[in-house]
Amino acid sequence: MEYSSFLIKYGEIGVKGKNRYLFENALMQQIKYALKRCEGQFKVHKAEGRIYVDALSDFDQDEVTDNLKTVFGISGICPMTFSEDNGFEDLKVFVIDYMKKVYADASEGTTFKVYARRSNKRYPLDSMELNALLGEAILEAMPVLKVDVHNPDITLFVEVRERIYVYSEVIPGPGGMPVGTGGKAMLLLSGGIDSPVAGYMISKRGVKIDAVYFHAPPYTSERAKQKVIDLAKKVSRYSGPIYLHVINFTDIQLAIYEKCPQDELTIIMRRYMMRIAETIAKETGCLGLITGESIGQVASQTLASLAVTNEVCTLPVFRPCIGMDKLEIVEISQKIDTYETSILPYEDCCTIFVAKHPVTKPSLEIIAKHEHNLDEVIDDLLKNALETKETIVVSTDE
């Protein structure tokens, strides 16, 4: 079947009262961003309280639906075909042709109904008449079908506007809220499996994300950094463009290594990462931090460790993976196509900074006391790390 446009269904945002136009505009903007990745010219427009994507040239239907599926706020994508209004007889032929093409393989007893909407009130037939007359015509043309107005297998929507649009399929969208309607948060992005998923999940609720990555050359390689950029790019299919801040963390890490107890290295390191992320977040208007932490996954993610890490932040820290098992996180990472990149073996050489037996029940007092060992150097190191940060705009727009 040749489709010419898509009706975009959006669930949750429909209920947002007077702010509705803000949500719709954000949705349209994200749709346009997703369509830039597709071959062809498209027009995205609002009409009669609905959003339509019209193709102005040839396009690949799978490519377009795959990309629309990355736009949060869309609950369903309906590929449509249209006919000029040349009278009812013509419409009948058109509708029968549509049904024959799309449901050529329909088995005996497949049920359907016609659901007509007439927004062009000058059209000579009203929607009830359209339902009845088109239903009858289809039954005649395709004897295998049966009508069921309550629970049909196929609902054929017929929209009479300036032109007449016909659709019957609803491809599920990703749900969620359009990005940009929920403020902005700062994602602590590593090369692992969890943090890209965390970014995706928060972004799904309409939050725009920026990201910070801690680079530690020569202990982490250029490839490890490139991997993080690649991951950010995959997330940006969903979240829109991401400002990725790359912080050179080597000197801070070495200072912690030299001056603090080995079993506390990771936890102290995490605290400095959070502090730096929060500083950048506040500078850039982010209202929260996002991490991929999940309770108990590693020593630094026990409840006790999370509490000690969290203590350095004043912004809320969002941890959408917190209650998930690794396999559940992996499943999402596969769905959003970050998994294969995450498991590339450019393992950071940071392992030398990982104690063989890290603390799992750190005490805030003790950790804070040991952090004082860094007093002489840490201000300069933090200042320097922030001053030398590199910011990369990661987007699927080329």
Partner 1 sequence: MKNEVYLDNSATTRAYPEVADIVKQVMLEDYGNPSSMHMKGVDAEQYVKQAGQILATSLKCKPENILFTSGGTESDNLALIGTARAMARRGRHIITTQIEHPAVLETCEYLSKEGFEITYLPVDGNGIVDLDTLEKSLRPDTILVSVMHVNNEIGAVEPIEEIGTIIRRVSPDAFFHVDAVQGYGKIRLIPKKCNIDLMSVSGHKFHGPKGVGFLYMSDRARLRPIIFGGGQQKGMRSGTENVPGIAGLALAADLTMSSLDEDVSRLKTLKAYAAERLSGIDGVTLNGFNDGESAPHILSISIRDVRAEVMLHALEDKGVYVSSGSACASNKPAISATLKAIGLDRSLLDSTIRISMSHFTTEEEIRYACDCFGELIPGLRRYIRK
Nearest to 157 by CA among 111, 95, 110: 95
Q: Closest separation between CB of residue 267 and partner 1, Å? A: 15
Contacts with partner 1: how many residues (CB under 8 A)? 19
Which helix (DSSP H) or strand (DSSP E) does residue 135 occupy? helix 127-141
Nearest to 318 by CA among 138, 206, 190, 186: 186
377 binds partner 1 (CB under 8 A): no
Q: Closest separation between CB of residue 64 and partner 1, Å? A: 36
349 binds partner 1 (CB under 8 A): yes
Q: Closest separation between CB of residue 253 and partner 1, Å? A: 9
Nearest to 396 by CA among 183, 181, 239: 239
Task: At 343, list the tokens.
Answer: 């498991």
354 binds partner 1 (CB under 8 A): yes
115 binds partner 1 (CB under 8 A): no
258 binds partner 1 (CB under 8 A): yes
Amino acid, res. 128:
M
136 binds partner 1 (CB under 8 A): no
Round to whole Å and give the CA distance between 173 and 392: 30
347 binds partner 1 (CB under 8 A): yes
Q: Closest separation between CB of residue 299 and partner 1, Å? A: 15
Which helix (DSSP H) or strand (DSSP E) does residue 46 occupy? strand 42-47
Q: How does 193-215 read in b/e, with b if 16+ C-beta sit within 10 Å? A: bbbbbbbbbbbbbbbbbbbbbbb
Residue bearing tokens 């941890």 = 319
Looking at the Cβ atoms of 313 and 354, the one nearer to partner 1 is 354
Rule CB under 8 A: choose which of 83, 119, 221, 279 binds partner 1. Answer: 221
Residue bearing tokens 């013509």 = 90
Round to whole Å and give the CA distance between 233 and 314: 29
284 binds partner 1 (CB under 8 A): no
Stretch that binds partner 1, among 4-12, 104-112, 254-262, 360-368 (CB under 8 A): 254-262
Rule CB under 8 A: choose which of 142, 219, 313, 386 binds partner 1. Answer: 219
Round to whole Å and give the CA distance between 96 and 139: 9
298 binds partner 1 (CB under 8 A): no
Contact positions toward partner 1, by CB under 8 A? Answer: 217-222, 254, 257-258, 262, 345, 347, 349, 351-356
